[in-house]
Structure 1
């Protein structure tokens, strides 16, 4: 088999790197920046498209721009051996099939696109083509969870062929979805893979990492023989495709990246129930000061943003001077909007407010934890103004740490924890905080 292909991940929020390390996260996708990713020593890099926060037209435009620039970057770097992954949520939320359709149109044709939503660190497994969340030994079909009720990306099926039929509005009927169940992927699947053609949709089972390790080897073997595949996956497939050694600094030693043993700041934007429980647990811990951002005030008058920012930064400065880590969190009550576009626009206004807070943080904070995918993407690209970042590894399972780098004009070498909204038990954010603050 030829050398391992470069794995190009177009990520719909900044948390898909949650099972790998030592690679680049790109927050811009001009040709020069994409060439930086292609020429990097790591076998994998991520393009943080953040499309889960965008409308469908914006998502289409963003993916098309990325793919067209990627075509040029591949040509100019003479990169011929590569795989493209449209990384999305392990609870099936996101712009499917829009994103894979655009990638297929721009970078195809492909022989197949694979649905691989497994993410083992968060208990997301797929058995007999049905996707589950497994918590404390109890498996719940994902359509019976809060995630399926998402006001933008809701759905009614956990059985992946029916999910595909639902999301494609019947364009791909359930009976046309190929099913790669455990009995297929746990043995040699190369013959089945070689038979795929015409961008057929394939639902892939996975119960443990070893399943995807084996399957990835067969994928790479068939790709080296000329098959062209596209992936719609969560994070665990990336672990197997990249096949990296252990991260340089162990998770329980990540405080070695914390600057000067200073307190940090924790930013909480995600509104899923899991995040709210984690926030409640965190606020009971010693050494933290909770600062609530009442977004209802913003809802009634968007001009109040600067007043709210000034209030929070004043409170934060007091907490920091007292040696406390400030926890800045948006109010938890669910607001009601007339339509999806209004909700997304308000979300952007809240994010803009939070980014004003990030830009006003004390320059010497020890670390920053960002909770929520959209919040994390905005923290990196807007709050910190990064074009790219180097992934250090994970502080707890499924939760990555990046560094701003030594050239950052305001926050040089700041470790930033990217914490997905839907990962971990009630004590998970507390655990990440305690590890980063251990120094």
Structure 2
């Protein structure tokens, strides 16, 4: 029996595909959909769980459901003579936000045992590197430990350490002590670590350094060698590790030629839900472009004036499209204050529901859609466009995936959608994506 390897990525928002192409994104994880992805020709697929937008209990329940269905499909295929050896990745934010260790614990319970789980948060296109087990954000050549950035102040996923062993101890509430974390430093990653990898056991936590894609390419080969010797590893990673594990060729259409995916050369629309500082700077630059129309969604009106506000935004969006302009629909930039995490998440879901009602009712002749923000993008794919699966065709900018709706979509067949993470790109990146799709570069 031939054993085939498949990289299975449980992605807590839809931006983990930001370094790969030609693979499926699943917004549903029933047995039939998972079987289709397992048998797809691409070496990897993503299950978009969107757990970063949920509380910990719900995140655990969703992760458990996915894992149990994955196991059922793997067992079924093996019984039919199609044995698949999975490489399991819990893809999360490269600035260390997310439900760790909740998700890796559940995956280990359902699909383990594992000999080790590796923290590999590097995302080079976004300036995230790890050196001496300290994770950095690099902006314009300046390296800042991530605990000193705005991301560490996240009201749901905040943390106080950039040194990964201390981060692990903090997030596991001391269950895993910092000194118990196995550190793979740059010298280890760039050297020969196979013997050490073969000695790992009992799901030990490992923190991995990397400054370049070549670092991870080399280390990934050693990880694969170890799995051939029977070792079972789980990964909690940023996007760059997936590039190394998948080892894909160049994408079929170059980033600066993505306009060829636009339907009928028509103008598109931009939906912005992310509130991070970088998104706001990019929005300000985009609103300076002549052919865009700013449509601000006053989120404070949503609870009491939902339908009125929705009608206003949709009417203005249709008028803009009729005039061959691009509506930029964005949530008001004032940060809301909430008494607790539950209230914040509930309000976020209400705002997202509003934006998805906008997406569902944009003009049918829309040429493309740019979705800014991880959770926003997940909701666009799963709810606004109601896609069961979609396929990544490539990256329009480093870290910004383009997926296409299927050709039988009831409203937007073949429409390209840009999944644009909130914290990726320089201040002109959103303008660049717009120009490439508008063929105005």
Q: TM-score, normalised by structure 2?
A: 0.98
Task: Kindly report the root-mean-square deviation, in angstroms, between the aligned alpha carbons of the 2 structures.
Answer: 0.9
1:396-411 equivalent positions in 2, closer than 5 A: 396-411=397-412
Q: Give the distance between the partners of 1:437 and 1:289, measured in 2 at CA.
A: 14
Residue from 132, 139, 145 that aligns with 1:141: 145
Please say if residues 3 and 84 of structure 2, whose CA atoms lie closer than 8 Å, have aligned partners that are also in contact. Answer: no
Q: Equivalent residue of 1:292, what SS?
A: strand
1:214-225 equivalent positions in 2, closer than 5 A: 214-225=218-229
**What residue in structure 2 maps to residue 93 of structure 1?**
97
Structure 1 stretches lacking a partner, 5+ long: none
* Residue 15 of structure 2 is aligned to residue 15 of structure 1: yes
Residue deviations 1:183-211 (CA, integer Å, cap 9, x gap): 00101111110010000000000000000
**What residue in structure 2 maps to residue 172 of structure 1?**
176
Please say if residues 4 and 84 of structure 2, whose CA atoms lie closer than 8 Å, have aligned partners that are also in contact. Answer: no
* Residue 40 of structure 2 is aligned to residue 28 of structure 1: no
Q: TM-score, normalised by structure 1?
A: 0.98
**What residue in structure 1 maps to residue 39 of structure 2?**
39
Q: Give the distance between the partners of 1:296 and 1:145, measured in 2 at CA.
A: 27
Q: Equivalent residue of 1:81, what SS?
A: strand
Residue deviations 1:107-130 (CA, integer Å, cap 9, x gap): 001000000000000100000000
Please say if residues 38 and 77 of structure 1, whose CA atoms lie closer than 8 Å, have aligned partners that are also in contact. Answer: no
Q: Equivalent residue of 2:294, what SS?
A: strand
CA drift of 1:345 comes to 0.3
Residue deviations 1:390-425 (CA, integer Å, cap 9, x gap): 110000100000000101011100000000011001
Q: Give the distance between the partners of 1:306 and 1:421, measured in 2 at CA.
A: 27
Please say if residues 177 and 202 of structure 1, whose CA atoms lie closer than 8 Å, have aligned partners that are also in contact. Answer: yes
Please say if residues 263 and 320 of structure 1, whose CA atoms lie closer than 8 Å, have aligned partners that are also in contact. Answer: yes
Please say if residues 7 and 43 of structure 1, whose CA atoms lie closer than 8 Å, have aligned partners that are also in contact. Answer: yes
Residue deviations 1:232-270 (CA, integer Å, cap 9, x gap): 000000000000000000000000000111000000000
1:252-401 equivalent positions in 2, closer than 5 A: 252-298=256-302, 302-401=303-402
CA drift of 1:135 comes to 1.1
Relative to structure 2, which stretch is displaced further, 108-117 or 72-81?
72-81
Structure 2 stretches lacking a partner, 5+ long: none
**What residue in structure 1 maps to residue 116 of structure 2?**
112
Q: Give the distance between the partners of 2:323 and 2:108, measured in 1 at CA.
A: 54
**What residue in structure 1 maps to residue 421 of structure 2?**
420
Q: Which runs of 4+ in 1 moved over 2 A?
A: none
CA drift of 1:307 comes to 1.2
Q: Give the distance between the partners of 2:168 and 2:192, measured in 1 at CA.
A: 26
CA drift of 1:283 comes to 0.3
Q: Give the distance between the partners of 1:153 and 1:428, measured in 2 at CA.
A: 26
Q: Give the distance between the partners of 2:216 and 2:23, measured in 1 at CA.
A: 21
Relative to structure 2, which stretch is displaced further, 378-387 or 75-84?
75-84
CA drift of 1:303 comes to 4.0
CA drift of 1:3 comes to 6.7
**What residue in structure 1 maps to residue 243 of structure 2?**
239
